[in-house]
């Protein structure tokens, strides 16, 4: 396959940045998208040019590091798939592919396609944990969990924090991420003691980071590589409204 790539190149956070066109020849349909970028980078290095910076780590679709806006689709055209697990057979010979970084004020571009997703860490730090006694794992039967709750919590826990939800959201909202990180705890008994302080803390951190608000447009859940459902945000809304009307305190983690 011969492809034309239009890639966002930006030397650093202060650089203005622009789309640059690169032809890439002899791409195997069995390559992953990132392997295709590796091929391009090897050529750029041999030519003495600056290789394209992009985030990646496990390349198994579970670490959440990779994230590219491919032809306006977060993680590319295949649903339920991270960019690293996307294969070139999804494209046709002669295609032009636009590759851009996640666009959000909360995710400033560090270089080329790499963005700083530290804002997600701040949301987690504001309440995405439980104050549980440490030690050996407790006997599983000692704390019964309803099957439906366990399933829903697991669904949320599948979030890898890649940021595709923010990238795809027309409002640049990080609500799907925040809701997933919230409900994986709030649905389980272990998460109950801090349930209402957690939600206030995490929503505050979300808003402070400069993410937009959710308008239930549903873009996030379409591109989410882990298929976190949109109704997760409803759970967040309910917890937030309960927490604020109850006056459940405003010190996260207390």
**Minimum distance between the CB of residue 4 and another protein, rounded to whole angstroms?**
13
Interface of this chain with another protein, residues 156 to 175, rule: CB under 8 A: 170-173, 175
- Number of Cβ within a 10 Å radius of residue 122: 15
As a dihedral over the C-alpha atoms of residue 73, residue 99, residue 111, residue 33, rounded to 10 degrees, the angle is 90
Residue 81 engages another protein in binding (rule: CB under 8 A): no
Distance CA 212, CA 171 (A): 5
Residue 177 engages another protein in binding (rule: CB under 8 A): no
Distance CA 251, CA 254 (A): 6
- The 9-48 contact track toward another protein, x by CB under 8 A, reads ----------x-----------------------------
What SS3 class is residue 21?
strand
Written as six digits, the tokens of 211 are 């993410």
Strands of the sheet containing 96-100, edge to edge, are: 18-24, 3-9, 96-100, 69-70, 73-74
Instruction: Pick between residue 64 and residue 201 the one whose CB is nearest to another protein.
Output: 201
Residue 215 engages another protein in binding (rule: CB under 8 A): yes
**Minimum distance between the CB of residue 13 and another protein, rounded to whole angstroms?**
12
Q: Which of 39, 98, 124, 130 binds another protein (CB under 8 A)?
A: 98
Residue 218 engages another protein in binding (rule: CB under 8 A): yes
Residue where the block lists tokens 């034309």: 4
Instruction: Pick between residue 138 and residue 193 the one whose CB is nearest to another protein.
Output: 193
Residue 87 engages another protein in binding (rule: CB under 8 A): no
Q: Which of 66, 203, 224, 228 binds another protein (CB under 8 A)?
A: 203
Residue 69 engages another protein in binding (rule: CB under 8 A): yes
Distance CA 25, CA 84 (A): 20
Residue where the block lists tokens 């804002």: 119
The closest of 97, 122, 94, 119 to 108, measured between CA atoms, is: 119
Written as six digits, the tokens of 139 are 């006997």
Instruction: Pick between residue 14 and residue 60 the one whose CB is nearest to another protein.
Output: 14
Written as six digits, the tokens of 210 are 């400069």
**Minimum distance between the CB of residue 196 and another protein, rounded to whole angstroms?**
12
Q: Which residues bind another protein (CB under 8 A)?
A: 6, 8, 19, 69, 71-73, 98, 100, 103-106, 126, 170-173, 175, 200-201, 203-204, 206-207, 210-219, 222, 229-231, 233-238, 240-242, 244, 250-252
């Amino acid at each position: 396959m011969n492809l034309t790539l239009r890639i966002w190149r930006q030397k650093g956070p202060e650089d203005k940045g622009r789309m640059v066109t690169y032809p890439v020849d002899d791409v195997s349909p069995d390559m992953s998208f990132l392997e295709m970028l590796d091929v391009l980078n090897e050529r750029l290095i041999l030519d003495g040019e600056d290789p394209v910076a992009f985030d990646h780590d496990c390349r198994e679709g579970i670490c959440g590091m990779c994230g590219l806006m491919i032809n306006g689709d977060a993680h590319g055209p295949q649903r339920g798939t991270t960019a690293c697990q996307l294969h070139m057979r999804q494209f046709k010979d002669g295609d032009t592919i636009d590759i851009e970084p996640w666009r959000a004020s909360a995710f400033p571009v560090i270089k080329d396609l790499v963005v700083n997703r530290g804002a997600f860490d701040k949301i987690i730090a504001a309440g995405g944990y439980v104050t549980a006694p440490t030690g050996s794992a407790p006997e599983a039967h000692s704390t019964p969990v309803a099957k439906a709750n366990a399933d829903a919590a697991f669904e949320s826990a599948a979030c890898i924090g890649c940021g595709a939800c923010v990238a795809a959201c027309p409002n640049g909202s990080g609500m799907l991420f925040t809701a997933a990180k919230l409900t994986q705890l709030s649905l389980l008994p272990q998460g109950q003691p801090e349930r209402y302080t957690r939600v206030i803390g995490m929503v505050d951190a979300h808003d402070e980071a400069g993410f937009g608000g959710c308008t239930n447009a549903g873009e996030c859940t379409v591109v989410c590589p882990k298929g976190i459902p949109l109704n997760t945000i409803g759970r967040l809304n309910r917890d937030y409204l309960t927490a604020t009307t109850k006056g459940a305190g405003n010190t996260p983690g207390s």
